[in-house]
Amino acid sequence: MSPAVTCLIILAVVAFFFVTELLPLAVTSMAGAIAVGMAGLIPIKTVFSGLSNSTVVLFAGMFVVGAAMFHTGVAQKIGEQIVRIVGNGENSLMIGGMGAGAALSSVLSNTSTAASLLPVMQGICSASRISPQRQLMPMAFGCGLGGIITLIGTPPNIIASGALENVGMKGFGFFEFAWIGIPITVAGIIYMVLIGKRFLPSGSEIGELDEEAKAEAAASTHDTTKQIIVVVVFAVAVVMMAVGTKIIPMQVTAIMAALALVITKCLTEKQAYMGIDWVTIFLFAGMMPVSTAMDKSGAGKMIADAAVGLMGGSPSPMVVTAILFILSCGLTQFMSNTASAALLCPIGISIAQQIGADPHAVLMAIAVAASCAFATPVGTPPNTLVLGPGGYKFFDYVKAGTPLVIVSFIVSLIVIPIVWPFFP
């Protein structure tokens, strides 16, 4: 059996367990890394090399910074002020909730953002006599949309950038995602206010406050001094990463910020560890060796050749981008967006190279699509988080979220080729 076929078999098994989640995602990913090592597709000593990858370090640092934002109450305060500024009518509250969710999740965990805003939105809905059913799902959608705006907004963005760097190409800049993230977020808010709200439940069922939201709210210390420190450290870190200095890489900046927040007691060491999403860390670290094996064994090229053949032998880059967007978006409705991106990014690079196109546009489409998990309650944690409190049913997400996916698809196919030309 050729190395390429062996790698494809391993990849198929990994994909099966990603989709079914019969095993934890992190376990599947690390098992995949071990499998390609044991099969001789990569040197066995490099099986856990992904754990030392600079992207993993960046993840860890920013998870800690995000945790500090929530434990000190900074994120809650920002979200509450944004929502209250816009007013308490149904449309204005929807704009405020989605806008606050998008703004915070552009630089913080969308899960924590949704958990933080949940009690805020419920309190305002109660005071305004508006059913939470009319507001919580749009707020969750806003959290998903906002993650697209920056490099650190959501794991797929960093994975796409890391995949490019992994093959010797220039990764995406910190705010480069804003070129597509902001248009999609604006379009998404307009859609929900004008059309999407018609697909939401009437508001007769009101759920209970989610336990995770309670925990997030209770965790806030509301210590003004600590809040100021967190804001300053966070602002400095974002500016340094956005400027992209060669002297201090982004991952070093992230860890410096995390250390500063622990040293100043803005959060405890235990809270810092708990703030790190270890599933994301190990999932990404495990898929890096699998990605390398796909490249070295020729499996990526084999998939690319087959895909190009199915598309007609010499498909246009626009067709490739559209198909990979649909595939990534379809997968992410039922599996981790991190897993979807990690699985498809190496394939996207191979296909783009096969047709002679710049991979940046293709990978941007994969990353954006991986964040468009709006059509199911299990597609992304914010959707799941508001399921109970909003009293939603599975089909409520299908009705309101599917058109939003279509809107995101159309905006992406218009904007991406303009900002990232296929043949620069």
Nearest to 238 by CA among 155, 150, 161, 162: 150
Most confident by average pLDDT, 106-110, 168-172, 262-266: 262-266
Percentage of the residues of the chain whose pLDDT score is greater than 70: 89
Q: What distance in Å separates the CA atoms of residue 111 and residue 175, rounded to the nearest whole number?
A: 21
User: Is the pLDDT reported for residue 169 higher than 80?
Assistant: yes
pLDDT number for residue 310: 76
Mean pLDDT of 82-95: 79
Taking CA atoms, 65 is separated from 79, 147, 347, 380, in Å, by: 17, 16, 32, 21
CA distance 279 to 72: 24
Please give the Cα distance from 88 to 148 (Å, whole number). 27
Query: What is the pLDDT confidence band of residue 365, given thresholds at 50, 70 and 90?
Result: very high
Angle at 92 between CA 132 and CA 189, to 5 degrees: 85
Structure confidence by residue, pLDDT tens digits, 375-386:
888 677 788 778
DSSP secondary structure string for all residues of 304-341: HHHHHHHTTSS--HHHHHHHHHHHHHHHHTTS-HHHHH
Question: In the predicted model, is pLDDT for residue 196 greater than 60?
Answer: yes
pLDDT attached to residue 206 = 44
Split at pLDDT 50, 70, 90, the class of 122 is: confident
pLDDT band at 412 (very low <50, low <70, confident <90, very high): very high
End-to-end Cα distance, the chain: 39
DSSP labels for 234-278? HHHHHHHHHHT-SSS-HHHHHHHHHHHHHHTTSS-HHHHHHHS-H
* Paired tokens of 38: 């044991």
* Spatial distance between the Cα atoms of 31 and 362, rounded to a whole number of angstroms: 28
Provide the pLDDT for residue 260: 94
Higher-pLDDT residue of 281 and 100 is: 100
- Residue 209 DSSP label: P
pLDDT value at residue 246: 66
- CA-closest candidate to residue 287, choices 233, 364, 347, 375: 347
Taking all residues of the chain, what is their mean pLDDT, rounded to a whole number?
A: 83
Average pLDDT of the residues in 238-248? 72
Q: Which two tokens stand for residue 206?
A: 């009101």
Tell me: pLDDT of 215 over 60. Answer: no
For position 401, what pLDDT does the model report?
Answer: 93
| pLDDT band, residue 217 (cuts 50/70/90) | very low
Cα-Cα-Cα-Cα dihedral sign, residues 203, 386, 18, 66: positive
For residue range 24-40, list pLDDT tens digits in order. Answer: 878 888 999 999 999 99
Q: If DSSP codes are grouped into helix, strand and coil, which group holds residue 387?
A: helix
Q: Is the pTM of this model over 0.85?
A: no
Average pLDDT over residues 323-327: 88
- 8-state DSSP, 51: G
Which letter does DSSP use for residue 132 in this model? G
What local confidence, expressed as pLDDT, does residue 244 receive?
A: 62
Q: Is the pLDDT of residue 178 over 50?
A: yes
CA 125/CA 121 separation, integer angstroms: 6
> Is the model's pLDDT at 300 over the cut of 90?
no
State the pLDDT at residue 413.
94
Weakest-pLDDT range from 4-8, 190-194, 200-204: 200-204
Q: Classify 357 in phi/psi space as left (phi over 0), alpha (psi -120 to 50) or beta.
A: beta
pLDDT value at position 424?
76
